[in-house]
Structure 1
Amino acid sequence: MTLSAAPHTSSDLWIPVTEEPEKRGRIFNIQRFSLNDGQGIRTLVFFKGCPHRCPWCANPESMSPRIQVIKRQAKCLSCRTCLQDPAECPSGAMEYVGEDVTLPELMTRLLKDEVFFRSSGGGVTLSGGEVLMQHAFAGELLKALRALGISTAIETAGDAPLSHLLALTENCDQVLYDFKIMDPQRARSVLNMNQPRVMDNFRALAEHGVNLLPRLPLIPGFTLTEENMQQVLDFLRPFNLAEIHLLPFHKYGEAKYPLLDKTYSMHKTKVPDAATIAPFYAMAEKYGYKVTLGG
């Protein structure tokens, strides 16, 4: 194994680089007993790293591909015992965000929930961050799960080479596909997203018979407009899909931003109420969709 040092910041750690990076994945959370993000009871694996910069992101710890360190000042004893090493922190005030796992290690952890997958028709969903940033490892994980008859799904914005997407869908029962800002220029400037590629990839997956479930976050000032919603619905019309998920804006991730020395730009944005969401729900229903809020 060869090691290389990456530029150091106050919250990032140097990264071991192996000759076979596909043999390890970098995750930051495993969420068990989820009733969203696919059918049945599911376990979500959150992969670290994302090429996009959505201002409303609820998982800001997912953005950097690096392992990071956060410090919860309220728990700090000011004892200086840790010397900024979370492993030595006696109060748990400091902690790592992110870990490297091998495929056998991760499978062992996921299979603890196998009985719930079998009994509920659930399974494992790979999320992020953007899982396509670690497509090689994710593909091996999906293949291993599928070999055991466990249902698999991924959540993605689809902004990656089509070959990476197609490779994952070979062992994937469902793709939860996010549409955000439909205007190409604004998607690029606000999100760093190649919206034409997102749409081209969706078309290609549909042509390959992939089970697609479109989702749209409803974000005030960005996607919560009739124009953006209409553009999504017009784009999806030819695919004759049965279901769409609408994801209303929330602020559940706001408290994480200062821990990562980040500014939460949505601080003054109001969470839309039911009356605000209702017209968008009705627009999707008018197109014949089964509409789910959240999910």
Structure 2
Amino acid sequence: MTSFAAPHISCNEQVGADIARIYNIQRYSLNDGRGIRTIVFFKGCPHRCPWCANPESISPKRETVRRKSQCLSCSPCLRDVDACPSGAYAHIGRDITLDALIREVMKDDVFFRASDGGVTLSGGEVLMQAPFATRLLQRLKGWGLRTAIETAGDAPASRLLPLARQCDEVLFDLKIMDAEQSERCLGIHLPRVLENFQRLVNEGIRVIPRLPLIPGYTLSEANVRAVLRFLQPLALTELHLLPFHSYGESKYRMLGQTWAMAGVSPPDVAVVDALRRIAEQQGYQVITGG
């Protein structure tokens, strides 16, 4: 098995045009696509989902946070990331060039080849940095890697389509299926989302619909059936259900923010199973939590 030789950045390259802002690279993931995945999380999201488990992804700006559990309560505290002796103060978000990011993800090349895995671009919302993401996936496809994105699909088709065409699969979130409520609660323009979803399917791109099951928002039989009615003419076979969890609560505290879902419990297993059976009865292979 051959190893990857990282590309050299020439002094002639206009690397200023090839810079993205990311906040994490997660390795060895078994979700978010086939095989072993490396997930690149892009910073910035235009939406305001109350249940977001990654609040550090929302602002496109670099942020400085204090991890209370690591803080030594130094006196005087300079609140300086570089001067902090324990690493309690840290930046969220870093700028990275296209070639540098390729070098980072290709460190896992051996795992991609062994597992038929690849690279998934997530967020935030990757469509906010679509030109960079498109170039990145073009380069990775050139190395024979499998590629995917996670998206809510709420952007002009001119941004979505060139990026999606570089993907082996698009993990596409469908959330609140009432247009007025979707706009008011999430800031998502549902008609554009549904039109984009149909465009991807019509182009022959493999699209996997995903539905977060959120108490008070999407966790209802009516909303699930609305998703299934939309999908019915598209002849898809796979559906992912993503039950609500509270793993992100500590991040809100770290950012000094209040979480809108504080005190909300994950959905009962029986409730999720009932919704899963409704989809399975319509012929879908349903993956829960994938």
Q: Tell me which interval the TM-score lies in, with the shorter structure as reference length.
A: over 0.9
> Any unmatched runs of 5+ in structure 2?
1-13
Determine the structure 2 residue equivalent to 1:215.
Answer: 210
2:51 aligns with one of 49, 56, 75: 56
1:96 aligns with one of 88, 91, 103: 91
With normalisation by structure 2, the TM-score equals 0.93
Distance 1:158 1:21 in 2: 27
Q: Residue 21 and residue 280 in structure 1: after superposition, are their counterparts in 2 closer, same or farther (change >3 A)?
A: farther
**1:179-218 CA-partner distances (Å, limit 9, x unpaired):** 0001011001100000110001111111111110000000
SS in 2 for 1:77: coil
Deviation, structure 1 residue 83: 1.7
Determine the structure 1 residue equivalent to 2:257.
Answer: 262
Deviation, structure 1 residue 88: 1.5
**1:109-128 CA-partner distances (Å, limit 9, x unpaired):** 10110000001000000000
Number of residue equivalences: 277
Contact 2:15–2:97 at 8 Å: present in 1 too? no
Matches within 5 A, 1:37-52: 37-52=32-47
Distance 1:20 1:252 in 2: 36
Q: What value does the CA root-mean-square deviation take over the aligned residues?
A: 1.3
> Any unmatched runs of 5+ in structure 1?
1-18
1:66 aligns with one of 61, 68, 72: 61
SS in 2 for 1:292: strand
Percent identity over the alignment is 55
With normalisation by structure 1, the TM-score equals 0.91
**1:105-154 CA-partner distances (Å, limit 9, x unpaired):** 11111011000000100000000000000001101110110000000000
Residue identity in the other structure for 1:56: W
Q: Residue 81 and residue 101 in structure 1: after superposition, are their counterparts in 2 closer, same or farther (change >3 A)?
A: farther
2:283 aligns with one of 273, 285, 288: 288
SS in 1 for 2:215: coil
Distance 1:166 1:254 in 2: 34
Determine the structure 2 residue equivalent to 1:30.
Answer: 25
